[in-house]
Amino acid sequence: MLCARRRAPWRRRLGELIARRAQVRIELDGVLAAADVALAHGRWRISYGDRLDSSADRASGPTLVLRLIAGEWKVAIAAPWGAPATEPLRAIGP
């Protein structure tokens, strides 16, 4: 699922990846799971045939939020360039 804002850049980038027959390998650095939700950090390696996309390699590590649905982990939120931390309790309080 794409974020409602800034959808066009995502659509363009995904279209490029598909057209160039990109292969994406996700290398997880860590996963924190609680019940049916998990927070994952890692790196995405994008390649086109034998050539690695060095611009993707320079990007900061992605943050993923996963949900366990019908026995399978599904991506609920993807922040490919990471997500800045919020101030404590500000995200959940007034």
Give the tens place of pLDDT for each residue, 42-83: 887 788 877 767 665 555 577 889 999 999 999 888 777 666
Whether 5 is in a domain gets the answer no
Let me know if residue 28 belongs to a domain. Answer: yes
Question: What is the SS3 assignment for 93?
Answer: coil
In the block, tokens 């994952």 appear at 40
- Is there a domain that residue 56 lies in? yes
Number of domains in the chain: 1
In a domain, 84, yes or no: no
Residue 69 inside a domain? The answer is: yes
Nearest to 81 by CA among 43, 46, 48, 28: 43
14 inside domain: no
- 79, 61 in Cβ contact below 8 A? no
**2: in domain:** no
pTM for the full model? 0.54
The answer to whether residue 41 sits within a structural domain is yes
Which range marks the domain in which residue 74 is found? Answer: 24-79
